[in-house]
């Protein structure tokens, strides 16, 4: 015998929030059955949508926060982040934006991490991070969590996060740049692509023992990672990186 539900609300999810729903529910108003008075946040996540993807909730035409408790016959509209519309007069679901956008990525996003570092973003990534570590670091350091696993974003303590939709690293980068409006904060070649450390100028004479003979002969300007010590210079690879960087910036527009 199936569970008996006493209450019914109607839910409609808008735009990219439909990515989390089965095709039969795309862009449709559908019933949600429940008992008692669950939080609106819990009801949304029970339907597969992480709370970090939601920017505005209207219940019976009135904006509410995540602490609202669902009532029988409520009509609920759930919206994603608004990129070009100022919704500041209505109920804010989180403090935003983070003034200094820093990120932590899950184990599936190593190539995206390197691309973001190339463009100068503060990106933590290790292929052995587990979910609790990612959550703890993200919360402690006010980092935006990027993940392919939407279940990771269900953690209540997370306030800023995004589920990457694409499997292609360059398309993933496009998603992130658009989602967090990062175009004006791109500062290429400021971070180490390997470890995320800062790159600083270094005197050639201090690193001579680390250079190959032809590098010593033909190049004179160098930068070194303050964390891992990796050395960078404008060799033949630099022009290729510049070309790729311009392509990455252009696909985001």
Q: Which value, in Å, is the radius of gyration of the alpha carbons in the chain?
A: 23
pLDDT of the residue at 236 = 74
Could you tell me the CA-to-CA distances from 62 to 8, 75, 108, 131, 204 in Å, in that order?
A: 18, 10, 38, 35, 63
List, for residues 70-90, the tens digit of each pLDDT value. Answer: 999 999 999 997 644 444 556
First to last CA, the chain: 54
Q: How confident is the model at residue 47 (pLDDT cuts 50, 70, 90)?
A: very high
pLDDT of the residue at 32 = 96
> What average pLDDT is seen over the chain?
88
Q: How confident is the model at residue 234 (pLDDT cuts 50, 70, 90)?
A: confident
Instruction: Report the SS3 class of residue 214.
Output: helix
Burial of 113 (0-12, 13-18, 19+ CB in 10 A): buried
Is a pLDDT exceeding 70 seen at residue 95? no
Please state whether 135 falls in left (phi above 0), alpha (psi between -120 and 50) or beta: alpha
- Residue whose tokens read 């990129």: 83
Give me the sign of the Cα torsion angle 141, 146, 148, 151: positive
pLDDT of the residue at 245 = 74
DSSP 222-252: EEEETTT--EEE-SHHHHHHHHHHHHHHHHT
Higher pLDDT, 253 or 159: 159
List, for residues 100-131, the tens digit of each pLDDT value. Answer: 689 999 999 999 999 999 999 999 999 999 99
List, for residues 31-40, the tens digit of each pLDDT value. Answer: 999 999 999 9
Q: Which two tokens stand for residue 68?
A: 């609202």
């Amino acid at each position: 015998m199936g569970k008996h539900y006493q209450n019914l609300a109607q839910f409609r999810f808008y735009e990219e929030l439909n990515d989390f729903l089965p095709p039969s529910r795309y862009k449709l108003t559908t019933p949600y059955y429940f008992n008692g008075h669950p939080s609106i946040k819990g009801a949304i996540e029970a339907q597969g949508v992480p709370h970090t993807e939601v920017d505005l909730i209207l219940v019976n035409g009135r904006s509410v926060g995540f602490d609202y408790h669902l009532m029988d016959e409520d009509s609920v509209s759930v919206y994603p982040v608004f990129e070009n519309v100022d919704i500041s007069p209505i109920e804010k679901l989180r403090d935003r934006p983070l003034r200094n956008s820093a990120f932590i990525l899950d184990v599936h996003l190593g190539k995206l991490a390197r691309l973001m570092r190339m463009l100068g973003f503060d990106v933590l990534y290790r292929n052995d991070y587990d979910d609790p570590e990612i959550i703890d670091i993200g919360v402690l350091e006010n980092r935006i969590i990027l993940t392919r696993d939407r279940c990771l974003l269900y953690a209540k303590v997370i306030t800023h996060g995004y589920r990457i939709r694409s499997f292609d690293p360059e398309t993933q980068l496009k998603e992130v740049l658009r989602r967090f409006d990062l175009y004006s904060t791109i500062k290429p070649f400021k971070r180490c692509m390997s470890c995320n450390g800062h790159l600083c100028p270094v005197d050639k004479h201090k690193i001579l023992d680390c250079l190959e003979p032809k590098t010593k002969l033909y190049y004179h300007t160098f930068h070194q990672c303050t964390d891992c010590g990796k050395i960078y210079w404008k060799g033949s690879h630099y022009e290729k990186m510049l070309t790729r960087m311009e392509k990455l910036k252009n696909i985001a527009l």
